[in-house]
Amino acid sequence: MKAKYLLIICLLFISKNYAQKREEPQKPKLVVGIVVDQMRYDYLTRFWDRFEDDGFKRLVTEGYNFKNHHFNYVPTYTGPGHASVWTGTTPMNHGIIGNNWFDKVKGESVYCTDDDSVSPVGTNSKAGKMSPVLLKTTTVSDQNRLHTQMKGKTIGVALKDRGSILPAGHTANAAYWFYGGNEGKFITSSFYRVDLPKWVQDFNNSGKVESYLKEWNTLYDIETYTASGIDENDFERGFTGKETATFPYDLKSLSGKNGDFGIISSTPFGNDLTTDFALAALKGENLGQDNITDFLTLSFSSTDYVGHNFGVNSKEVEDTYLRLDKNIAKLLEFLDNYVGKGEYTIFLTADHGAVDVPSYLQSVKIPGGYFDDIQFTKDLEEYVFNEFNEEDLIQNISNGQIFFNYEKLKDANIGVEELENSVAFYCIQQTQIDKVVTRSQLTGANFSSGIRELLQNGFNQKRSGDVVFVLNPATIVYSKTGSTHGSGLTYDTHAPLIFFGAGVKPGSTTERSEIPDIAPTVASLLGIAFPSGASGAPLYMMLDQ
């Protein structure tokens, strides 16, 4: 008898708990998705000891840290990176195959956010003729707009147009980006609005931008910057008009030879400016102030400009991340007060990593090098002419892809596969080319591992070329100073991913996750439909439900 009562009590207890677990978690009032341009995963660990408790460290310790997070496609550039984070898929489906690529129909190179049909707003410059028209699938912020009958807002913010436009998606209320030059202001296009709202006009007129044309010196004593190489070395480009790439930099006097207001973007002050503008956007647009989820898509572009200019191992990169830590802290503190602690969700990731400067790697006996793409183009054209006795069979070479001229092939009665095989045969004999794959191979089978899988995920059947080649590790088409990116090697693919706030269970994992998993995870957290082309899967281990 006693046992029976005990069983009933147990069952009641279990069902009560079960009912509690079934309660739908409160949706966040706001999602802030942060992309840090060119942030390698190891920047978190490399600068960890110098971060304060309220910035990156707070995200990691209170949030969920994915330590083995990667890009799963090539090429790892800014346009494809931002598109992949927000659409939950790869260039194969969203169609952003580079920052620029050769448009086979137009017969010319196009830029990933170019749109001739729209007009600039806030400037007369063609820097405003931009929209997400080339992005083929939806973003998770688009899905939120559809789900909320367009009541949940989306605002995009970045210095770079593509860092603002691609994340904000097709249905954004607005995306804003920075136009430097002699104007120095945030602009948009008629794709979103016919004019700048008052809060943007006020921001542009506030003198904020001009205030950053000041001296850039290290935030702390440079002697304490032990996570980077010496300040003066042979591997940094620096600014035009200053002989050495060494602190301090007087931005006001250097601005004339370095893009006027544009020089701000190439310093950590560009991230300060982005933060100022993001806070103004949160207030100006009343984001996160009711129970319908809004999105702020935020990208910090200056990290990329500094990395390109000074290289992965520079004091300038170290300083830029110590300062970005302050920006993150400022943003979190603002959101705690404005939206409320636990009422918003943040994710932070990157759009690609970067390679250590190859000339530096060579100096410490690690293989690396520089590929002369202009010479390669000449040599390949000559080879093809000798083989087929026809001119102009190759139409374009860009982003490691060789595009054929189909009209010429048809006229000369040369089979596509015949040319594919011949070009691939030539490519693999080049000492700096490591791997080659053809269109026929990429469309004829599904690759599930290694570089071929990455190439396939980056290959868009309509937009990509006919032969794809891969350079040796740490071999780049770039100047001998500064860092770049684009490959499928881990220095370019390994990125941070931290989720934080509403709906997120604290923790960490070393299990592999991939960039296209982010958008489906956000969609799951909100209980909304996945982006139309999503190929990633929700990272359920961190979902607090």
What residues make contact with Zn ion under the rule CB under 5 A? 37, 78, 304, 351
Residues annotated as catalytic (active site), given as ranges: 78
Q: What are the residues whose beta carbons fall under 8 Å from the beta carbon of 378, sequence distance 6 or more? A: none
Do the bridges between strand 100-103 and strand 394-398 make them parallel or antiparallel, or are there none, so unpaired? Answer: unpaired
Nearer to Zn ion, 409 or 489 (CB): 489
Question: Residue 351 or residue 356: which is nearer to Zn ion going by CB?
Answer: 351
51: phi then psi, degrees, rounded to nearest 5: -75, 150
Q: What is the DSSP pairing of strand 401-404 with strand 394-398?
A: antiparallel
Query: Least distance from C-beta 75 to Zn ion, angstroms?
Result: 11
Residue 289, C-beta contacts closer than 8 angstroms, at least 6 positions apart: 29, 339
**Torsion over CA of 384, 386, 387 and 392, rounded to 10 degrees?**
40
Calpha distance 513→64 (Å, rounded):
12
**Least CB distance to Zn ion at residue 82 (A):** 8
DSSP string, 50-63: GS-TTTHHHHHHHS
Q: How far is the CB of 160 from Zn ion (least distance, A)?
A: 8
CB atoms within 10 A of CB 1: 5
> Closest distance between Zn ion and the C-beta of residue 299, in Å?
9
Quick one: 208 or 494, whose CB is closer to Zn ion? 494
Picking from 396, 415, 465, 467, the residue whose alpha carbon sits closest to that of residue 437 is: 467
Using CB atoms, what's the residue nearest to Zn ion? 78
φ/ψ of residue 399, rounded to 5? 55, 35
Residue 69 Cβ vs Zn ion, minimum distance, rounded to whole Å: 16
Provide the β-strand partners of residue 30.
294, 344
Q: How far is the CB of 297 from Zn ion (least distance, A)?
A: 15
| Tokens matching residue 144 | 């939120």
Q: Which of 305, 223, 308, 229 is nearest to 268 (CA)?
A: 305
DSSP H helices in 185-301: 198-205, 208-211, 251-254, 269-284
The three-state DSSP-derived secondary structure of 280-333 is HHHHHCCCCCCCCCEEEEEEECHHHHHHHHHCCCCHHHHHHHHHHHHHHHHHHH
CB of 51 to Zn ion, least distance (A): 22
For residue 133, give every residue at least 6 positions away whose Cβ sits within 8 Å of its Cβ, in sequence order, or none. 115, 117, 191
With respect to Zn ion, which residue has the nearer C-beta, 75 or 538? 75
CA 35 to chain CA centroid, Å, is: 6
Task: State which amino acid sits at residue 538.
Answer: P
Instruction: Specify the residue, 319 or 351, whose C-beta has the smaller distance to Zn ion.
Output: 351
Question: What letter does residue 353 receive in the DSSP assignment?
Answer: -
The first and second tokens of residue 487, run together, are 């490959």
Contact predicate 254/239, CB 8 Å: yes
- Nearest residue (CB) to Zn ion, 305 versus 344: 305
Nearer to Zn ion among residue 85 and residue 534 (C-beta): 85
Reduced to 3 states (helix: H, G, I; strand: E, B; else coil), residue 250 is: strand
Q: Tell me the closest approach of the beta carbon of residue 164 to Zn ion, in angstroms.
A: 13
The smaller minimum CB distance to Zn ion, of residues 304 and 343, is found at 304
